[in-house]
């Protein structure tokens, strides 16, 4: 596989004041071009796939997320923090972040979080995802009718629930990413939800 040149690498912004943390992220995310930003720069910097925000950089995290949601609604944000409380993480996601991982996260978890968010889903503990789904209008007390999944759809669904991004699902099943996306599209229609996050926590997809 050809290596991506630094010039052509996807750009990810990082807002972090801790030098060691920044070096650690740069080491883990070698395939990306890491752009070190201040909070004000992050609002203006163009051509970023997403931005990682160390919550310790600001005492007003939720106000900051609200500003991003208002001024740059299409920019994907992942928050890094020391909090592990599910209610706090749910509030972070509810405020506009697309992902949250702790300061103790392993490199593989950080990479997976970025891949999942880039694929259009949300990275957070499963209990947080379930609470977010339950809080959406019209999702409570819905009758559960298990859809008729094919064997391949069940394989894709299992890997989705494990937090695997499209690329890893494709490699695991020996198919291309376009086929993975097609399977996910069919799964969404069968379950009657509009996004991957809702799909993975929907009661009808909780495969034992």
Task: Please report the pLDDT score of residue 136 as a whole number.
Answer: 60
Q: What was the pLDDT predicted at 174?
A: 95
Q: Can you list the residues of the chain whose pLDDT is less than 50?
A: 1-7, 139-140
Same CATH topology for 11-130 and 151-205? no
What pLDDT score does 21 carry?
84
Task: Assign domain 11-130 to its CATH superfamily.
Answer: Response regulator (3.40.50.2300)
Q: Where are the domains of the chain?
A: 11-130, 151-205
Does CATH number 1.20.58.100 belong to domain 151-205?
A: no
Angle between helices 86-94 and 61-71 (to 10 degrees): 30
Q: What is the pLDDT of residues 149-174, one digit of tens each?
A: 899 999 999 998 888 889 999 999 99
Using alpha carbons only, give the angle 119, 33, 31 rounded to the nearest 5 degrees.
65
pTM exceeds 0.85, yes or no: no
Q: Going by C-beta distance under 8 Å and a sequence separation of 6 or more, which residues neighbour residue 147?
A: 190, 191, 204
Taking the C-alpha atoms of residue 8 and residue 129, their distance in angstroms, rounded to an integer, is: 34
State which H helix or E strand residue 88 sits in: helix 86-94
């Amino acid at each position: 596989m050809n290596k991506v040149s630094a010039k052509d690498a996807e750009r990810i912004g990082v807002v972090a004041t801790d030098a060691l943390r920044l070096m650690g992220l740069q080491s883990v995310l070698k395939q990306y071009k890491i752009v070190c930003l201040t909070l004000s720069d992050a609002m203006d910097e163009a051509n970023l796939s997403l931005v990682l925000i160390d919550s310790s950089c600001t005492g007003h995290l939720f106000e900051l997320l609200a500003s991003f949601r208002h001024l740059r609604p299409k920019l994907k944000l992942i928050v890094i923090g020391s909090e592990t409380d599910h209610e706090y993480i749910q509030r972070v996601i509810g405020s506009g972040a697309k992902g949250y991982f702790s300061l103790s996260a392993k490199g593989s978890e950080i990479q997976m979080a970025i891949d999942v968010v880039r694929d259009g889903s949300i990275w957070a503990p499963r209990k947080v995802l379930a609470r977010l789904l339950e809080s959406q209008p019209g999702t409570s007390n819905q009758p559960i009718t298990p859809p008729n999944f094919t064997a391949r759809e069940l394989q894709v669904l299992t890997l989705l629930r494990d937090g695997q991004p499209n690329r890893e699902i494709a490699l695991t099943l020996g198919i291309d990413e376009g086929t993975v996306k097609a399977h996910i599209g069919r799964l969404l229609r069968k379950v009657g939800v509009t996004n991957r996050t809702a799909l993975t926590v929907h009661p009808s997809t909780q495969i034992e």
